[in-house]
Structure 1
Amino acid sequence: MDKVTHSAEPHHEHDKRQTEIYYVPAQSNWPIVGALGLFLIAVGAGLLLQPKGMLSHFGGFVLLGGIVTVVVMMIGWFHNVIQESLAGLYSHQMARSFRQGMSWFIFSEVMFFGAFFGALFYARMIAVPWLSGASNNAMTHEVLWPTFEAIWPLIKTPSGTETQAMPWQGLPLMNTLILLTSSITLHLSQLSLEKNQRTALIVWLEITIVLAIAFLFYQGQEYLHAYQEMNLTLQSGVYGNTFFLLTGFHGLHVTLGTIFLIVLLARIAFDHFTPRDHFAFQAGSWYWHFVDVVWLCLFVFVYVL
């Protein structure tokens, strides 16, 4: 098995600077660039969902501009951090700061998805019984929606249109198996890095990236099937809203995670990591496992239950 035989700098210099310096990076413009990109994505998506017209057409350009801005931000920010690391500017204290920052970032993502799962819980456990006339709300039931039936998923909307619920079999189940497998292959890749096995490291990471791309492809196929054959869209009442918001934002996180993994593969090609010094790879692994856990919760609460 091939070995990782060298790193970006000698180990004795690396150990020396670990105990001597704490690097304070200069002010960066990338956070505000990223915030601008996310703002454009939100505005563009909102305009794109408007009824067909000039605003909807304009929204596509705004959304594309936001996506391009975020991609530019990621490339620029990754480049800066990589250059600082290769220059030997990071110490043990900086490494702890990175770990704390990544931990808080994942915690913020947990809260982000927690809000959407909370909305799903509210709709199913509170709003649906309330609309059905439970808890002494019979008058509300008669006034707001007399024909309402307290069942989930809600495939009927107040306007009278009807859709279909997405079954958990087929593509959703296959995507679940794909993501679970990708977590295993990524873990094997990290173990190979820690054991200094370069060939296994690259192969397992490449398999993980292929599985990630396959997940995104099949999710796109699922969306096409939902829109074209099931009449399940964002306008399909609260069920359609929660379904596409949860799966869509998860798909966005899978996309970002895939980009993260591709960057890691490129850095491995340039021997940026050693068995002792590879937190960037570890951070990517944390993020990917988090994305997989979110999908498992999503699969159970959105598709199965």
Structure 2
Amino acid sequence: MTFLTQISKSIQRHPFHLVDPSPWPFVASLSAFSCAVGGVMYLHAYTNGSFILVIGFTMLLLTMFIWWRDVIRESTFEGHHTGIVQQGLRYGVILFIISEILFFFAFFFAFFHSSLAPTVEIGSIWPPKGISVLDPWEIPFLNTLILLLSGCTVTWCHHAIVANFRSQAIISLALTVTLAIIFTSLQVYEYSMADFRLSDGIYGSTFYMATGFHGFHVFVGTLSLFICLVRLLQYQLTQQHHFGFESAAWYWHFVDVVWLFLFVSIYWWGGL
């Protein structure tokens, strides 16, 4: 009876995931704190500030890699991500995307606050005098088409996974990652050809903060989709269990929508 009682106690009788104790939240917070301290020290020219910044950032990257590896293991090999757990994760991703929307709202607010009522210090005109704005119908418009096409291919991949068309899912996801890399490469080229920099007044700061952070989000989304491609090749994403890809696809559509607002407001309207 004792043996049977132990077996019955070891069987999980609920669909929720009670995570095991993990050191990664503490290590991640310590790494982020090191990045903040090292960044402040570096900006104020303190000794070893850059060293602390690099060490903290490296620790943060390693922690992220190992922590997400554990999440993939819990989901794929240990089977902890039941339907109810995935529903909770979906709510978490939705709240995360909402926080990102508010993040970009701050940049758009700063841009329109400066452009709708230009101050005397910048000549009461927008764009400010001396700023040679980028032509929106060259690289920005091409990047818009590329990003919209990548949104179509990632949707194709989602439908292919749901329909269990494995070959189509691999091809469409590989196309999405390729288009994302092309987008980032063109944006880097655009930055290198621009006549203004981040330090060139309110226009330069708002332009590079908004488009630069969007480029960083594209980079993060590209990494997420690439990891999903690797998992898809290893048969870890199935017809019934593919939340990892689903969250990456939602994030990618969010990046698409933000870029449309950036193109219309900053590139086109802001350069008139």
- CA drift of 1:37 comes to 5.0
Q: Residue 3 of structure 2 corresponds to which residue in structure 1? A: none
- Equivalent-residue separation in structure 1 for 2:230 and 2:262 (angstroms): 31
On the 8 A contact 1:216/1:254 being kept in 2, the answer is yes
Superposed counterparts of 1:121-132, under 5 Å:
121-126=112-117, 128=118, 131-132=119-120
* Worse-superposed segment, 104-113 or 57-66: 57-66
Output the aligned Cα RMSD: 2.6
Superposed counterparts of 1:144-293, under 5 Å:
145=121, 148-154=122-128, 156=129, 162-226=130-194, 230=195, 232-293=196-257
- Equivalent-residue separation in structure 2 for 1:176 and 1:103 (angstroms): 24
- Equivalent-residue separation in structure 2 for 1:259 and 1:186 (angstroms): 14
- CA drift of 1:190 comes to 0.8
- CA drift of 1:20 comes to 3.7
Amino acid at match of 2:126: W
On the 8 A contact 1:46/1:59 being kept in 2, the answer is yes
Q: Deviations over 1:67-94 (max 9, x none)?
A: 4334323311210111111201222221
- Equivalent-residue separation in structure 1 for 2:52 and 2:232 (angstroms): 35
- Equivalent-residue separation in structure 2 for 1:68 and 1:199 (angstroms): 36
Residue from 110, 119, 128 that aligns with 2:110: 119
On the 8 A contact 2:147/2:179 being kept in 1, the answer is yes
On the 8 A contact 1:176/1:296 being kept in 2, the answer is yes
* Worse-superposed segment, 189-198 or 63-72: 63-72
- CA drift of 1:104 comes to 0.6
Amino acid at match of 1:117: F
On the 8 A contact 2:15/2:85 being kept in 1, the answer is no
Amino acid at match of 1:106: I
* Worse-superposed segment, 290-299 or 69-78: 69-78
- Equivalent-residue separation in structure 2 for 1:57 and 1:292 (angstroms): 42
- Equivalent-residue separation in structure 2 for 1:125 and 1:191 (angstroms): 43
Equivalent pairs, count: 258
Q: Which sections of structure 2, spanning at least 5 residues, go unmatched?
A: 1-10
1:82 matches 2:76: no
- TM-score, normalised to structure 2, is 0.85
Structure showing greater relative contact order (alpha-carbon pairs closer than 8 Å, 6 or more residues apart)? 1
Superposed counterparts of 1:18-167, under 5 Å:
20-35=14-29, 55=45, 64-65=54-55, 67-85=57-75, 86-126=77-117, 128=118, 131-132=119-120, 145=121, 148-154=122-128, 156=129, 162-167=130-135
- Equivalent-residue separation in structure 2 for 1:70 and 1:296 (angstroms): 31
- Equivalent-residue separation in structure 1 for 2:18 and 2:56 (angstroms): 30
- Equivalent-residue separation in structure 2 for 1:91 and 1:304 (angstroms): 46
Identical columns (%): 38
On the 8 A contact 2:161/2:238 being kept in 1, the answer is yes
Q: Which sections of structure 1, spanning at least 5 residues, go unmatched?
A: 1-16, 133-144, 157-161
Q: Deviations over 1:174-204 (max 9, x none)?
A: 1111111110011101111111111110011
* Worse-superposed segment, 94-103 or 32-41: 32-41
- Equivalent-residue separation in structure 2 for 1:168 and 1:44 (angstroms): 38
What secondary structure does 1:55 align onto? Answer: coil
On the 8 A contact 1:19/1:91 being kept in 2, the answer is no
Distance 1:225 1:283, change over 3 A: same
- Equivalent-residue separation in structure 1 for 2:36 and 2:202 (angstroms): 20
